[in-house]
Amino acid sequence: METLDNMLVSTWSNVHSSVPPSYVQPIENRPGKVISSSCKAIPVIDFGAHDHDDIAKQIFKASEEYGFFQVINHGVPTDLIDEAMNIFKEFHGMPPKEKVNECSRDPNGRCKLYTSSANYKSDAIQSWKDTLTHPCPPYGENMDYWPHKPSKYREVVGKYTIELRKLGLKILEVLSEGLGLTPSYFNEGLSENPALLVHHYPPCPDPSLTLGAAKHRDPSIITILLQQENVLGLQVHKDGEWIEVEPIPNAFVVNIGLLLQIISNGRLIGAEHRVVTNSSTSRTSVAYFIYPSSESIIEPSKDLVNENNAPIYKSMTFGEFNINFFNKGPKIESELQS
Ligand code: OGA
Ligand code: NI
C-alpha cells in the first residue's frame, strides 16, 4: 500500500517531468484567463486607520461585494509573522517520514498531515498540495499533539494563533455591527474551535493543467490567510471572472466563509476561490479557519430574519453541517436551502 510519506506531492514532484493523469483537471476547470491584480483587485483595508466608522464601512462593503479583502496595519507583530512563516516553510521542508511522524500523535486525528485534500480518496482529481492541519484552541492550550519539530513550532505557532484569534474577533465585531447584531455575537460558541491549515504547493511541471486547490467556498465563519511573499497563487471568482490576490508583505487576506453567508442570510458572500500552481517556486500559505463548536446552531440569525426577510437557509448544527460538507463537497449548497 502507498504510504502517506510517499504520496505527498513534495516527495515525488521534483522527480516527475510531467503531471500524473490523476492531477490533470478537466478542460473547463483549468486555469485560463485571469484578471491581473494590477487591473482589478480585492479591497485593501488599513485596519490601523483612525476613523473606526470608515474602516467598518469598508470592511462591510468588501464583504458584501467580494466576500474578500486584505488587511494591513492589523496589529499582529511583523517579526512574529516572519518567524511563523519560516517555521511553516521549514516544516514542509523536513524529510517526508519526519513530517508524517510529527503529525501522528493525536488519537482523534484532528492534528494531521494530508495530501491533495482532507478527502483524498473521494477527490475525482487530486490537488497539487500537501497540508498540515490542527486545531488551535483559543488560549493556546492542548498543544501536545502539534508537531514538536521544528523545535520552536509550538512556541511560535502558539503565539501566532493567539494573535490571529484577537484579530479574528475584532473583524467579526465589525461585521456584527454592520449586520446589526450585538458586537459580541461571534465571541463564544461560533468562534470556539479555530483550526490552522498550513498549505504547501510545490512547483508543478505544467501549471496550465493543474490546480493547487479547486474552486471552493470555505466551510468557516471567516478565514484569515497569510500568503508567502512574491508568489501568486490565490484567485477569487467574481462576476464570472478570476481575480488574482496580490501577496502584500505582512498583510492578511480575509474571506467570508459559507457559515457566515448562512448566518447573514445571504447578505455576506462566502466567495468562491481557488489556487493555481507555478513551475518555478513552491508556495506556502497559512489559513486560520474560525470554526464553531460542533453543537453550535448554524442558521440565518433570528435577529436578521422577519416577514420581509425570510430565512433562505435551513438550520443545522455545525456537526451536521460538517458531515454534509464532507459527503457533498461543493454540492452542499442545494442541501442548505430552506
Ligand atoms: C483554503 C484556501 C488559499 C491559499 O485554505 O481554504 O483557500 O492560498 N487557501 O492557500
Ligand atoms: Ni479556501
Band (pLDDT 50/70/90 cuts) for residue 1 is low
For the chain, how many structural domains are there in total? 1
Domain carrying residue 124? 4-9+41-336
- Cα 233 from chain centre: 13
311 lines ligand 1 (CB under 6 A): no
Q: Which residues contact 288 (CB under 8 A, 6 or more apart)?
A: 136, 161, 164, 168, 194, 195, 196, 223, 224, 225
CA proximity to 242, closest of 34, 17, 4, 23: 34
Average pLDDT value for residue range 23-43: 87
Average pLDDT value for residue range 270-295: 96
Q: What is d(CA 169, CA 194) in angstroms, rounded to the nearest whole number?
A: 11
Q: Where are the beta strands (DSSP E) in 180-335?
A: 195-201, 213-216, 222-227, 234-238, 241-244, 252-256, 273-275, 283-289, 297-298, 316-317
Q: Whose CA is nearest to atom 5 of ligand 1?
A: 287
Q: Judge whether 282 lies within some domain.
A: yes
Q: What percent of the chain has pLDDT over 90?
A: 84
Q: Judge whether 162 lies within some domain.
A: yes
Supply 79's cell numbers.
517579526
Higher pLDDT, 256 or 39: 256
Instruction: Please report the sign of the dihedral spanned by the C-alpha atoms of residue 177, residue 182, residue 183, residue 185.
Output: negative
Band (pLDDT 50/70/90 cuts) for residue 325 is confident
Q: Tell me the best of 199, 201, 243 to mutate to test the pocket of ligand 1, counting ligand atoms within 8 Å of each CB and taking the most.
A: 199
195 lines ligand 1 (CB under 6 A): no
273 lines ligand 1 (CB under 6 A): yes
Q: Judge whether 192 lies within some domain.
A: yes
Q: Which residues contact 259 (CB under 8 A, 6 or more apart)?
A: 190, 219, 220, 221, 270, 292, 298, 318, 321
CA proximity to 214, closest of 6, 33, 24: 24
CATH of the domain at 111: 2.60.120.330
Atom of ligand 1 nearest to the CA of 285: 10
Beta-carbon count within 10 A of 30 CB: 14
Q: Which residues contact 260 (CB under 8 A, 6 or more apart)?
A: 175, 220, 221, 222, 268, 270
199 lines ligand 1 (CB under 6 A): yes
* Residues 216-261 pLDDT 10s: 999 999 999 999 999 999 999 999 999 999 999 999 999 999 999 9
Atom of ligand 1 nearest to the CA of 287: 5
Higher pLDDT, 256 or 1: 256
Neighbouring C-alpha atoms within 13 Å toward the C-beta of 289: 20
Q: Judge whether 199 lies within some domain.
A: yes
pLDDT of residue 331: 72
Quick check: 177 pLDDT over 90? Answer: yes
Q: What is d(CA 208, CA 56) in angstroms, rounded to the nearest whole number?
A: 39
218 lines ligand 1 (CB under 6 A): yes
What is the 275 CA–ligand 1 centroid distance (Å)? 7
Q: Judge whether 296 lies within some domain.
A: yes
Distances (CA, A) of 239 to 29, 242, 244, 272: 16, 8, 14, 11
275 lines ligand 1 (CB under 6 A): yes
Give residues whose Cβ lies within 5 Å of ion ligand 2: 218
Average pLDDT value for residue range 287-310: 95
Q: Judge whether 177 lies within some domain.
A: yes
Q: Whose CA is nearest to atom 9 of ligand 1?
A: 287
Average pLDDT value for residue range 53-69: 96
Q: What's the mean pLDDT when you consider all of the chain?
A: 93
Q: Judge whether 135 lies within some domain.
A: yes
Q: What is d(CA 264, CA 259) in angstroms, rounded to the nearest whole number?
A: 9
Q: Judge whether 60 lies within some domain.
A: yes
Average pLDDT value for residue range 30-57: 88
Quick check: 338 pLDDT over 80? Answer: no
pLDDT of residue 140: 65
* Residues 80-103 pLDDT 10s: 999 999 999 999 999 999 999 999
